[in-house]
Amino acid sequence: MKNSKLLLTSALVGTVAMGAVANAETKISGSATYTYGFVNGTTLAGNTQGAGKEVQLDISNSSTLENGLGFSAGFSMEHDGGQASADFSEGNFMKFSSGNTSVMWNIDKAANLSRSATPRVSTSINTMMVGIGTSGSGVSGQSSATMAYDYAPGGQQQQSSWNLELAQQFDGGAAYLVYTPRVGDSGGVNDAAGNGSATGTATDFILQGNMGVDGLTVLAALSKTDAVSSATVDSEVQQLGLAYNFGKIAVGVTQATIDQSDSTEDTQREYGITYAVSDNLSVGLLHANTDNNGTGNEKINALQVGYNLGAVSVEAYAIAVENLNGVDSAAGQEKVGIRLGTKF
């Protein structure tokens, strides 16, 4: 009799699970970006050139639950350059929604401070700077240790740690509250209690939208990471951005004040202007200025050109940096690159 009950229970569970899958809409999409760059380092030996790639496959489903809540979930598989295997920690999420309100448990999916009001034609400054370092070798990827400007001030905990996002859409924009209970926790195996070393918690608040004004972009964000012990200093970031699109021309600026965990404070601004030459061709200029705790001033200038071929986007850029990492005596370095991208 006990065995019969067990079999019946298992059958019911299986039926419920199969029903949930059958009622969900599954989507598979992806993207591929192929690049080539030329780096002019601090010495002739530091000059380099080479190819790069980033390919990603996204799998997701969406449905309406029996209680009427909207539901979606998904994950991504990303493979960059010469990685030995694909990264499965990209964009994992489960999201529940009701009207304009949603709650999402995720890693690398929530809103974060990599958002910017500054208009761009192509990719971020940090991506263009990959390969530029203090030695100019161009061998390894860019890191914060070799660059004062930070496109994701505050550490961007949402990319590397599981977090909970509460989002509220409204006429003219959206507000996000993101809580990271354990910074550095990228998840354990199955039911294991996480992984990594405990480094405190993080809370982000982000507000972005046109606030009901066509062409306007407003960005306001606050990020705070609480130290895990009294021996470690808390860190905090305030971010403000403003931009306006006049039609063919868009201009904007984003500023971040970063109170670092080492008790230093950096202030950075990124200015941008773009011009739509035609429906398919756009050009843009970027300038970033970082005051490295009053000890140095890193300056970055970039030119971007983008052309839309429909199924393929073509982007070209040239970027130059002075006083790398806020070191006034650092030699200037430059890079030019091209990016071919497609989505499927």
In a domain, 52, yes or no: yes
Domain count, the chain: 1
- Best CA proximity match to 155, nearest among 91, 234, 218, 253: 234
CA 298 to chain centre: 22
- Best CA proximity match to 296, nearest among 320, 322, 260, 332: 322
Residue 115: the pLDDT is 86
Pull the structure tokens for residue 139: 């061998």
In a domain, 183, yes or no: yes
Residue 62: the pLDDT is 95
In a domain, 6, yes or no: no
CA distance 197 to 140: 25
* Residue, of 109 and 143, whose pLDDT is higher: 109
Residue 40 in this model has a pLDDT that exceeds 80: yes
Residue 212: the pLDDT is 94
Provide mean pLDDT across the span 2-27: 51
Identify the sign of the CA torsion 140, 141, 143, 148: positive
The domain that holds 210 is classified in CATH as 2.40.160.10
**Angle at alpha carbon of residue 239, lines to 96 and 118, rounded to 5°:** 90
Q: How many CA atoms lie within 13 A of 322 on its CB side?
A: 10
Residue 85: the pLDDT is 78
pLDDT-derived band at 146 (thresholds 50, 70, 90) equals low
Residue 134 in this model has a pLDDT that exceeds 70: no
Strand partners, 297: 291
Contact 108, 92 (CB under 8 A): yes
In a domain, 7, yes or no: no
| Three-class SS of 68-80 | CCEEEEEEEEEEE
Residue 156: the pLDDT is 67
In a domain, 12, yes or no: no
In a domain, 151, yes or no: yes
Chain mean pLDDT for the chain: 84
* Residue, of 99 and 235, whose pLDDT is higher: 99
Provide mean pLDDT across the span 42-57: 80
In a domain, 50, yes or no: yes
Residue 328: the pLDDT is 82
By mean pLDDT, which of 10-19, 46-55, 63-72, 278-287 is the weakest? 10-19
- Map tokens 């974060």 to a residue: 112
pLDDT-derived band at 152 (thresholds 50, 70, 90) equals confident
Q: Which domain holds residue 195?
A: 34-343
Residue pLDDT, tens place only, 312-341: 999 999 999 998 888 888 888 899 999 999
CA distance 243 to 216: 6
Residue 43 in this model has a pLDDT that exceeds 70: no
pLDDT-derived band at 66 (thresholds 50, 70, 90) equals very high
Provide mean pLDDT across the span 261-282: 89
CA distance 242 to 251: 9
- Map tokens 């490295």 to a residue: 292
Provide mean pLDDT across the span 278-297: 91
- Please report, for residues 74, 79, 80, 81, 343, the alpha-carbon distance to residue 56 in angstroms, rounded to integers and kept in the order given: 13, 6, 9, 12, 9
As a whole-number percent, the residues of the chain with pLDDT over 70 amount to 81
Count of C-beta atoms within a 10 Å radius of residue 1: 5
In a domain, 203, yes or no: yes
Return the percent helix, strand and coil in the chain, to nearest 5. 10, 50, 35
Pull the structure tokens for residue 315: 């982007």
CA 54 to chain centre: 14
